[in-house]
Structure 1
């Protein structure tokens, strides 16, 4: 039998939701991703099909005739898949505990609002979530998965690079009105990540600014920095993925376009299963419950990952 030719399934989910709502924003809310992620998935699907599925005019979204015809087929197919999946998932199964340890800022502002979506996919998993930014020792710390940021790839465990850290210069809208050039930054208060004091000097060197301001306010986590920035207390450097909601709502803005990839990267860590501590793990080597969480993470973070990172996913 000839194998089926299938388009990217994530793109299909994005299309079906966007077509049903006639809104990329509402589709993003339903699928727990950003408006930009939905738009990217739709472009991927349109490129794959070589047809336009939506018409965008005067901020109104509508389906093309091809899109309407495709939606009818896709909706029934996805509904059949959903029903078949629900039948299997509704069968009695043994509840498994999944112990996850995540960076504090990631947990508070990013992971917890999305966990319900993961739980809906995997109702048999009991998620035990804790926070920490210490070095993980899986022999001592009985976690199934940990997420850490570091300037050097962690060792003594299985490591999967999640993404680089794309830092945005952000502030409240009223404060942004006072910033027209890089020199204006020296007249503002800089909100400093106290465990990463080198970020402002590195950013200034990259953008060609000599920092002269001595007005600093230190905070320990990105969550605290984001809240202080929203309150108009100063300028902050915060990862883009972390403040997508605030940027979309307009409570934070980017006063100057200064792209900066910090020295830090985010990694997913799991215990060693093989004899070699340096071997890159295959998905089949991880426990299924950990792999389910990692697959979900990779899907959520897809819009922020670079090509080389995607190529090394396993």
Structure 2
């Protein structure tokens, strides 16, 4: 029987972390060991393979050519080992826990009301949701998946575009319709406050340009999250430009009205983002397939 020629897993994990961070200090913190312990493990590995894996140039840590190739191969191997372990854990439990970082308004307005259908189809998978709308760091944020708005490009990840688009419509509280907003004349918006969303800075400009009002400057107050912008519009603070699918309840109850038939499709899309190495986990495949199908379902609200 052939005996595998492998160094210790501790030495391999330490080298991979140092090569990825290019810092003994940072890698030691990630591994929860001292810097000297991390250095010792790398020395053990260098002795095992019979040559240096790092060199210092002008005080900077750099990989040798052998170290660079070894680190790349080792990362792929550790990723596969991690994936195999997660698959085994999920199989043993018949599902497992799936941690998802989700946009706050998207989560509360669209995703959560539909999750009972996922739970019914996959009762052994437990979903934990964390609100977030910034950069995605799966390891630091402790998440398996993320839902974000963007162009589909995230480093070291595979993304799946959902069947949702930001079909932006102008909305306002009913009382604003009695204060000079003329549904037949978009120019009547000149006398009203145009509420803005900080992450969609070009939305109003796009709608106004299409309506022939390219000279109008939307200089109203800005809001960081859609749920804040929705509440501001409901409170009558001004006129907002919002995605239809996030305001089903307000449109159904009449808390918000759509004074103009014109809409605009904002560039970008909603994506489910997954670490490339984990894309084939059964629990991730289950949620991905369900979410993609669910996002193709029509809105419950019919609008002109």
- Interval of TM-score (by shorter of Structure 1 and Structure 2): 0.5 to 0.7
2:239 is aligned to 235
Deviation track 1:282-301 (CA, whole Å, cap 9, x = no partner) reads xxx52221122222222322
Preserved contact between residue 95 and residue 283 of structure 2 (Cα < 8 Å): no
Q: State the match for 1:286 in structure 2.
A: 280
- Seen in structure 2, the aligned counterparts of structure 1 residues 214 and 254 have a Cα distance that, compared at 3 Å, is closer
Contact 2:169–2:242 at 8 Å: present in 1 too? yes
Partners of 1:210 and 1:247 in 2: CA distance: 27
Q: How does 1:122-133 map to 2 (within 5 A)?
A: 122-133=122-133
Partner of 2:106: 106
Secondary structure at 1:147's aligned position in 2?
Answer: strand
- Structure-2 residue corresponding to 1:200: 204
Match of 2:290 in 1: 296
Q: Note if contact 1:148-1:266 (Cα within 8 Å) is conserved in structure 2.
A: yes
Distance in 1 (alpha carbons) for counterparts of 2:196 and 2:169: 13
| Aligned twin of 1:267 | 271
Q: How many residues align?
A: 204
**1:119 is matched with which residue?**
119
Greater Rg, structure 1 or structure 2? 2
**Which of 210, 214, 236 is the aligned partner of 1:210?**
214
Question: For the Cα contact (< 8 Å) 2:204–2:218, is it kept in 1?
Answer: no
The aligned counterpart of 1:168 is 169
Corresponding position of 1:179:
181
Shift of 1:170: 1.0
Q: Which residue of 2 aligns with 1:70?
A: none
Q: Which runs of 5+ in 2 are unaligned?
A: 1-91, 300-304
Provide the TM-score with structure 1 as the length reference: 0.59
Shift of 1:249: 1.9
Q: Residues 75-154 of structure 1 correspond to what in structure 2 (within 5 A)?
A: 94=94, 96-151=96-151, 153-154=153-154
Task: State the SS of the aligned residue for 1:302.
Answer: coil
Match of 1:221 among 221, 225, 232: 225
The CA distance in 2 between the partners of 1:214 and 1:197, in whole Å, is 10
| CA separation of 1:202 and 1:213: change in aligned 2, threshold 3 A | closer
The Cα of 1:224 is off from its aligned counterpart by 0.8
CA distance in 2, matches of 1:264, 1:95: 32
Asked if the contact 2:171–2:241 (Cα under 8 Å) also holds between the matched residues in 1, the reply is: yes
Checking the alignment, whether the CA contact within 8 Å between 1:172 and 1:251 is kept in structure 2 is yes
What SS does structure 2 have at the residue aligned with 1:237?
strand
Q: CA RMSD in A?
A: 2.4
- CA distance in 1 between counterparts of 2:105 and 2:293 reads 20
Deviating 4+ runs (over 6 angstroms)? none
From 248, 254, 259, the equivalent of 1:250 is: 254
